[in-house]
Structure 1
Amino acid sequence: MKNGELLKWGEGKLSGLRVDGYDIEAEVLLRYVLRMDKISNFQFPISKEVEKKYKNLIFKRCRGVPLAYLTNHKKFCGLDFYVNERVLIPRPETERLVEVVLEIIVPSCQLSTVNCQLLDMGTGSGCIITSIIKGIENFKCFKGKECFKNFKFVATDISADALKVAKINAKRHGVLDKIKFIQSDLFEKLPVVSCQLLVANLPYVEEFWQDPSIQFEPKQALYAGQDGLDVYRRFFQQVWNYTKQGSVILIEIDLRQVKPLKKIIGKRKIEVLQDRFQKPRVLKITV
């Protein structure tokens, strides 16, 4: 069989998924098994081994396994991240958290004078904290290691498996030495220190929500009780011990949770920020 014929077969199978871009996904999987960045010739023969591997991936995709888990790759903030079933797949909506952090850290481009402890709670794949550090490096005023001398980056997760993935990604992007990773259930294993910035992308899905698109992702990283707020209730019972006046807390939320979260947080300055799809996605709390 030629690679073009195999691709047509894959497209035919995936067309029943009723998702946009099934033809693109079919080609992505073919490039993955062929270990090619681009296919320009669709007339060359392929081995039985490659054919078998490709068909197995197509069948898994037809069962709903996310493309990112099949290829172990997902783009986030323009960077390529390793992902597997131990972590949530990074979403484009979450990129807003990174953007807001960078807007706070470098308003005047005086990086070497910034004194900041940043905590990424529920780091998962590590995509948020890694993207933040790479974002700092991309600023025009970045002057190498001296810019990080007053920064402390901490990433936590309740899952040891998730932290392994986060470390893989930090190493891949050259920032492993800049991040302290801690396995912890919220603040349980953290020393009591004041953080200038706290970023939290914690579980916030209602336990009754059973969308097929998330059935293969780790439940511990998704579900948080009947209203999806069990974890954030615990978070806001503890977080004030780790902040000081002027600290900023950024959390990812769902539209329906804005009002109950405001009640939980109390009388503090709260801003609701939209994601790239113009939906409320981030709560910014200034202490």
Structure 2
Amino acid sequence: MTVADLLRASPLPPLEARILLMHVLGWRRTELITRDLLPLSEDAVARFGALSARRLAGEPIAQLTGKREFFGLEFDVTPDVLIPRPETELLVELALEVIADTPNARVLDLGTGTGAIAVSIAHARPDARVWAVDRSDAALHIARGNGARLLTENAVTFMQSDWTANIDSSLRFDVIVSNPPYIASDDPHLEQGDLRFEPRGALTDDADGLSAIRTIIETAPSLFANRGALWLEHGYDQAEAVRGLLNARGFTDVRSMRDLAGIERCSGGVFAA
């Protein structure tokens, strides 16, 4: 069976089939095109078949390949961490905008997961000092590995903390960002698609979807320098509620930003100490 034969016979969507076959063969996309008539070994066909069956059963592509591209970088992914999504790149862009004119800016990423947000910021701004926290040991193991592979040594400081609880009170940040669990516990999407295979604690607060956001908004101001910014990712229908929480806490310049799909995906504001 050739590459072309295998892809043609695959029950998967063409893009997913190509991604899995590239993973099995260790090839780039151009090689699938230029070597499409190459006969495949039985082992390669069997491994592709096994991965295809798992994908058809619902397992996310990122977990099958162990990789996901985010902000131009390739991150290791396991079932212990949330899979980085394209819409979360907006959070990185907003943080970089905040610190654009601040040399040696200090950045805090709360609930780092794979480390995608923190590592992407540190990669774009090597002069910045970036901290990334998560309460999960397993997530921090993945995040540290991604940081070590993609950045120079000690570019990001990883530490365990339940949101801001264990952060040194003497530290002060120019911007704090977070993609917290914001899906309500009764949301049916938790039992659908890729979400079934991701860590529940990274998806839902097991409440109304706003409890983690409330905690962050309440505690973040104590960690700002004289003037700091907070940006949060949230659900498609939560922007108004998050703006209300920010305003009530005393943030100014409160606004929401839309992702490429036109959805109000991130909300934030400035807090003057």
Aligned to 1:125: 114
Partner of 2:237: 256
What is the DSSP-based 3-state SS (H/G/I as helix, E as strand, rest coil) of the residue aligned with 1:87? coil
Secondary structure of the corresponding residue to residue 189 of structure 1: coil
Separation in 2, partners of 1:261, 1:187: 18
Give the 5 Å matches for 1:136-155.
Answer: 136-137=125-126, 148=127, 151-155=128-132
Kindly state the Cα deviation for residue 176 of structure 1 after the two structures are TM-superposed.
4.1
The Cα shift of 1:115 comes to 4.3
Q: Does 1:92 align with 2:86?
A: yes
Worse overlay, 211-220 or 119-128: 211-220
Distance between the aligned counterparts of 1:264 and 1:271, measured in 2?
A: 12
CA distance in 1, matches of 2:94, 2:18: 35
Instruction: Return the offset for 1:158.
Output: 1.0
Cα-to-partner distance string for 1:172-191 (whole Å, 9 max, x where unaligned):
21234111100111112111
Counterpart CA distance in 1 for 2:84 and 2:238 is 21
**Which residue identity is paired with 1:185?**
D
8 Å CA contact retained: 2:81, 2:139: yes
Q: Is 2:61 the partner of 1:80?
A: no
Which of residues 259, 269, 272 is equivalent to 1:285? 269
Q: Is the 8 A contact 1:153 1:180 kept in 2?
A: yes
After TM superposition, list the pairs within 5 Å mapping 1:37-116 onto structure 2.
Answer: 37=28, 38-39=31-32, 40-107=34-101, 114-116=103-105
1:92-118 deviation line (CA, Å, top 9, x unaligned): 1111111111112124xxx6xx24221
Cα separation, 2, equivalents of 1:115 and 1:61: 43
Report how many aligned residue pairs link the two structures.
261
2:69 and 2:75 in contact (8 A); partners too: yes
Please give the per-residue CA displacement for 1:185-227, whole angstroms capped at 9, x wherever unaligned. 1112111122211011111011112321211111010001342
Residues 249 and 35 of structure 1: CA distance in aligned 2, closer, same or farther (over 3 Å) = same
Q: Tell me what 2:168 maps to.
A: 191
Secondary structure of 1:125's partner? coil
Which residue number corresponds to residue 177 of structure 1? 154
Mapped to 2, the partners of 1:210 and 1:63 lie a distance apart of 18
Match of 2:183 in 1: 205
Q: Normalized per residue, which structure has more strand? A: 2
For each residue in 1:128-157, what CA deviation from the matched residue of structure 2 results, as whole angstroms up to 9, or x when unmatched? Answer: 1111122225xxxxxxxxxx2xx4211001
Alpha-carbon distance change, 250 to 175 in structure 1, aligned in 2, over 3 angstroms: farther
- SS of residue paired to 1:118: strand
SS in 2 for 1:172: helix
| TM-score of the superposed pair, with normalisation by structure 1 | 0.86
CA distance in 1, matches of 2:263, 2:113: 23
**Cα distance change of structure 1 residues 97 and 176 upon mapping to structure 2, 3 Å threshold:** farther
Unaligned runs of 5+ in 1: 15-21, 138-147
CA distance, structure 1, for counterparts of residue 95 and residue 217 of structure 2: 20
Alignment of 1:10-25 (within 5 A): 10=10, 13-14=11-12, 22-25=13-16
Structure 2 residues not aligned, in runs of 5+: none
The CA RMSD over aligned residues, in Å, is 1.6
Q: Decide which moves more: 53-62 or 247-256.
A: 247-256
Q: Deviations over 1:14-33 (max 9, x none)?
A: 2xxxxxxx101111111111
Tell me the secondary structure at the aligned position of residue 77 of structure 2.
coil
Look up the equivalent residue of 1:200 and give its one-letter code.
Answer: S
SS of corresponding position for 1:52: helix
Any idea what SS the aligned residue of 1:285 has?
A: strand
SS at match of 2:182: coil
Q: Secondary structure at the match of 2:188?
A: coil
Contact 2:242–2:267 (Cα < 8 Å) also in 1: no
Task: Quote the residue 2:203 is aligned against.
Answer: 222
| Distance verdict in 2 for CA 1:69–1:273, change over 3 Å | same
